[in-house]
Structure 1
Amino acid sequence: MDAPTISHAEIILRLAATFVLCGAVGFEREVRDQPAGFRTHIILGLGSALFTMVSAYGFQEFFGEKTVRFDPSRIAAQIVSGIGFLGAGAILRQGVTVRGLTTAASLWTTAAIGMAVGAGYLFGATAATVGVLAALLALRRFRSAFISRLRLEVSDLEVSFSRPDADPSPLISILEAHHATVRTLDAEIEGGRATYHLQVRVRPPHDLHAALGEIARQSGVERVAATGLRDLE
């Protein structure tokens, strides 16, 4: 059996296709101000494509040797597991909100697109790119229009009072009046001030904005902060 070969023109074509397809995914992440954007996705895709081509065509001098087992999928298989550290670096936790999961998934899929192009499976790579962009762009509107109306909103509130003996009961009453449920309540007293940390769940179509304004107007309240109000990923 002859060793598999690939021309220089084909290598350039596959790398260029990887650049365009993975760049399209990275561009969407870039305009969304995500930590892994345009260049990251392109570099990741090019690396995956090159690894795949090296795995398939880079060891021709050993092909046909009886003592050498030729398996073009061995290097490519390590890409799937090795890409995990990049995805983990894109995931951030902010209070009750976990951000970066979509970007991590796009990195993982970009690696698959690069592998597909590197293996010469251009149709599959193009179809996957279209699918990823549809999920990132078209389904975002669907989520905003429909899913967000059904999903519970979980937020972290931090309310600081100017005195240490402040009663948190009015806070709970205000939140409940605005259709919010307090899941947890923690208190911190330091330097003559009292700070309450609340984890709140709100059922759609209600939100916390009106409640936050009412809490901020309460006597003795110095600061009101909230995290997790909206997932903008």
Structure 2
Amino acid sequence: MLSNLDMVGRLLAAALLGSVIGFERERLVWAAGMRTHMLVCVGSCLLMIVSAFGFSDILGRPNVTLDPSRVAAQVVSGIGFLGAGTILLRGEVVKGLTTAASLWAVAAIGLAAGGGLYVPAIATTVIVLAILAGMKPIEERYRARRQRHDLRVVARHGLLTTERLRILAGPCAGKLRQIVIRQGTSDDRDEITLCLVHVDRGALDALTERLRRHEGVESVEAIERTSIGRDAGGE
């Protein structure tokens, strides 16, 4: 049986490790921030302590066995409800997957701390923090290179042909993946969609401005897509 001091030490260790990961989420102003991660980690730690040491008074009695892994298994599956609460659907993009995953990882860290596995708990905290903070710039650079932008143009019918649009695109001509020209609801207007990939914001803004200034163009709307061929799971 653990001493009270040992139990408190494990709970404090869980709170500290959970706060380290929670701080990274708090920095990005996500709903599940420092307090949520600390609570999950401390709660998981306490459940593990109860599971492993809370029934010591009945051990040794006839026909009584103890399986500490049962509570841990329930924590792993039960944390899903809290993770689901952090996942939001904003338009066509799912947000909160990373935060939900961090809560699930923090629950495991709490279980490890509750079981006295300090080295794995600390190592996992460092690894999770490195994934959340260190991998984000790499991920953003990768997504930026695969970013897709659509320009929706309404212009006088027959004014902007495919060849004319490529000339207007200028430096962005090589970034044009698709050009779709449809006759609008009115016979004297065309609705044009330009799909561009691997284009930086400055070049896109310049192209948008050139199109808007072109004679016969009524409107230009820029629509930013997430990644080519898929929607991205946000933080």
TM superposition score normalised by structure 1: 0.73
Task: Assess, with a 3 A threshold, how the Cα gap between structure 1 residues 114 and 159 changes in structure 2: closer, same or farther.
Answer: same
CA contact (8 A) 1:184 1:199 kept: yes
Q: CA deviation at 1:227?
A: 5.1
Q: Which residue of 1 aligns with 2:197?
A: 202
1:123 aligns with 2:116: no
Structure 1 pair 148/222, CA: closer, same or farther in 2 (3 Å)? closer
Partner of 2:73: 77
Does the residue aligned with 2:38 lie in a helix, a strand or coil?
helix
Residue 14 of structure 1 aligns with which residue? Answer: 10
Q: Give the Cα separation in 2 of the matches to 1:215 and 1:68.
A: 75
Aligned residue pairs, count: 219
Correspondence for 1:226: 224
Where do 5+ consecutive residues of structure 1 fail to align?
A: none
> Within 2, Cα distance between the matches of 1:166 and 1:131?
58
Per the alignment, in what secondary structure is the counterpart of residue 105 of structure 1? helix
1:211 equivalent to 2:194? Answer: no
Q: Which residue of 2 aligns with 1:153?
A: 147
Does the CA-based 8 Å contact 2:98-2:234 persist in structure 1? Answer: no
The answer to whether 1:55 aligns with 2:51 is yes
* Structure 2 CA distance for partners of 1:122 and 1:179, relative to 1, 3 Å: same
- Bigger drift between 69-78 and 98-107 goes to 98-107
1:177: which partner in 2?
Answer: 173
55 and 186 in structure 1: CA distance in 2 versus 1, 3 angstrom threshold: farther
- Contact 2:151/2:220 (8 A) holds in 1: no
Shift of 1:119: 0.6
How far has the Cα of 1:96 moved from its partner? 5.1
Residues 114 and 31 of structure 1, relative CA distance in 2, 3 Å threshold? same
User: Is the CA contact (8 Å cut-off) linking 1:44 and 1:111 kept in structure 2?
Assistant: yes
Aligned AA for 2:131?
A: A
Q: CA deviation at 1:44?
A: 0.7
Find the aligned partners of 2:158 and 2:30 in 1 and give their Cα distance: 40
Distance 2:182 2:84 in 1: 30
8 Å CA contact retained: 1:154, 1:199: no
The code of the aligned residue for 2:71 comes to I
After superposition, the Cα gap between the structure-2 partners of 1:98 and 1:8, relative to the gap in structure 1 and judged at 3 Å, is same
State the structure with more CA Rg. 2
**Distance (Å, rounded) in 1 between the aligned partners of 2:81 and 2:159:** 46
Post-superposition shift, 1:54? Answer: 1.1
Structure 2 residue runs of 5 or longer lacking an equivalent are none
Distance 1:160 1:83, change over 3 A: farther
The question of 1:90 aligning with 2:82 is answered: no
Distance 1:127 1:166, change over 3 A: farther
Give aligned-pair identity as a percent: 35
Backbone CA RMSD of aligned residues: 4.0
Letter in 1 for 2:61: E
Deviations 1:22-65 (A, max 9, x none): 10000011101222111110011111111111111122233223
The one-letter amino acid of 1:214's match is L
Structure 1 pair 65–211 and aligned structure 2 pair: CA distance change class (3 A): same
Amino acid of the structure 2 residue aligned with 1:81: S
User: Equivalent residue for 1:99?
Assistant: 95
Cα offsets for 1:176-201 (capped at 9, x unmatched) = 73614359999998xxxx998x7956
Q: CA deviation at 1:137?
A: 2.2
- Structure 1 position 139 matched with structure 2 position 135: yes
Answering whether residue 58 of structure 2 is matched by residue 65 of structure 1, we say: no
Deviations 1:197-233 (A, max 9, x none): x795623xx2355335534653322754435389984
